[in-house]
Chains A and B, each alone.
Chain A
Amino acid sequence: MNSVHDLGGMHGMGPIEYEKNEPVFHSPWEAHSFALNMAVRAGRKWNIDAGRHEIELIAAPEYLRMSYYEKWVARLESLLVKTGLVTKTEIETGKPAPGSPKAAPFITADKVPAMLRTGALASRDVAVEQRFQVGQRVRARNINPEGHTRLPRYARGKIGIVDRHHGVYVFPDTNAHFRGENPQNLYSVRFAARELWGDEASPRDSVYLDMWDDYLEPV
């Protein structure tokens, strides 16, 4: 979706504010919002792409105003309701509905180290036709889906060169909407800075983006 999360290439966002000796979390609520998201995600009621998309759905003015962990709290609340794990009333009251059954936790403390050490692979060990080769010139398709995509606006319609082939990976555009993993080949594509930004850009510089088969067309 063409919302403000797709920030690449915009001006007017102000200077970069750098904090020296920044703590991992700035307050206990940040730490807990992070941990709550991770602990509920362990239940696999939604995938990582759906989680990202839920943050993109935050209205653009709010998106820019909210801090990172404020967005994580909003995302968690809305996905908990959408997946039926809790009701809106329960969120509003902070109390389980009378008579609601008690669940078993998705993850217990003893399983946390193994969960983090293993992670979750996004690659898939399946044979999918590789439509592009390293060194090939490709054009990023000009698509403007209302749903989730990882093809930023600044690259759409631009020509680049396939720099490396990563393998076969889950396709976020369908996975985020629970329409299947649709695994396909993923490439790193090099775009010259001048192709993206015009002649004012340095002739030496470039931007590399990871792109799936469905984002690309031959030139």
Chain B
Amino acid sequence: MALRVKALESLLVEKGIVDPAALDALIDTYEHKIGPRNGARVVARAWTDPAFKQRLLTNATAAIAELGFSGAQGEHMVALANTPKVHNLVVCTLCSCYPWSVLGLPPVWYKSAPYRSRAVIDPRGVLREFGLELAEDVEVRVWDSTAEVRYLVLPECPAGTEMLTEDELAALVTRDSMVGVAKVASPAEGARA
């Protein structure tokens, strides 16, 4: 594959269709600038600012843009709040749609056949594979991203974090919790893990 991609790239550069510096800029952006730390900042803001949380749940695209995140694969955002009784899980069964602007590019497991096939028919089994056992009285809502709307899960704020700053809270928030395959661990749990 490495040779095939190299050949294709040199052809497109020689033909003038592609600017190699643009390729470097694209790669650098998704390796270093756009990733799950963006989403974590959105979540931490929602945990500390009830008015922002309200805006996030009403118009996620606009609320997320307040923090400077917008654009490619985040043009039409919807935020889904987890509660003690409702757990949201995001999948794209038809391809691999994912909210790039807040989470970056998706991990391999999200794009893989096992996750895409089973998240809709057996979400509780899938969550168990991720180590998350949900009580029977919790309602599971699976969101299959069949259009250009992109979904961000707003996980529950863990206990024992009342004294933490927004930055410290953001550091607790994981990519997996914003897809809905995990909860955010409390600082004590995180230290043990």
Please list the residues of chain A having a beta carbon within 8 angstroms of any beta carbon in chain B: 5-11, 13-19, 22, 24-29, 31-36, 38-40, 43, 48, 52, 55, 64, 67-70, 73, 76-77, 80, 85-86, 90-91, 94-96, 100, 102-109, 111-113, 115-123, 150-152, 154, 166, 169-170, 172, 186, 188, 193, 196-197, 201-202, 204-212
Contacts and interface: CB of A to CB of B under 8 A. Distances in A.
Given A6-B94, A39-B12, 16 more contacts: A8-B116, A11-B118, A13-B117, A27-B2, A31-B27, A32-B5, A35-B24, A39-B18, A76-B8, A85-B17, A95-B11, A95-B14, A109-B21, A116-B26, A121-B75, A206-B141
Counting chain B residues whose Cβ lies within 8 A of the other chain, the interface size class is: 35 or more
28 contacts: A8-B91, A8-B119, A9-B93, A13-B112, A16-B118, A16-B129, A18-B109, A19-B108, A24-B35, A27-B2, A31-B31, A40-B12, A95-B14, A107-B19, A109-B21, A115-B72, A118-B71, A119-B74, A122-B75, A152-B93, A169-B147, A188-B78, A202-B136, A202-B140, A204-B138, A205-B123, A207-B141, A207-B144
A36 B7 CA distance: 12
Contact of A112 (B1, B25, B118): B25
Nearest to B139: A204
Contact of B5 (A9, A73, A207): A73
A123 B147 CA distance: 11
Interface of B: 1-2, 4-12, 14-19, 21-27, 29-31, 34-35, 70-76, 78, 91, 93-96, 101, 104-105, 107-109, 111-121, 123-124, 126, 129-130, 136-149
A106 B31 contact: no
Given A94-B11, A112-B29, A205-B142, A106 B17 contact: yes
Contacts of B95: 5, 52, 55
- Sorted nearest first, the 6 A-B pairs with minimum C-beta distance are A8-B93, A122-B148, A210-B147, A109-B21, A94-B7, A119-B71
A62 B104 CA distance: 27
A38 to B, nearest CB: 5
B115 A103 contact: no
Given A32-B27, A122-B76, A150 B17 contact: no
Contacts of B112: 13, 16-17
A24 B71 contact: no
A24 B26 contact: no
A209 B145 CA distance: 7
A107 B137 CA distance: 52
A28 B24 CA distance: 11
B79 to A, nearest CB: 13
A67 to B, nearest CB: 8
A151 B146 contact: yes
Nearest to A69: B1
Given A34-B105, A77-B8, A103-B16, A15 B129 contact: yes
Among A16, A70, A108, A202, chain B packs the most CB atoms within 10 A around the CB of A16
Nearest to B70: A117
Contacts of B96: 68
A13 B118 contact: yes
Contact of B114 (A14, A96, A106, A150): A14
B58 to A, nearest CB: 11
Nearest to A14: B114
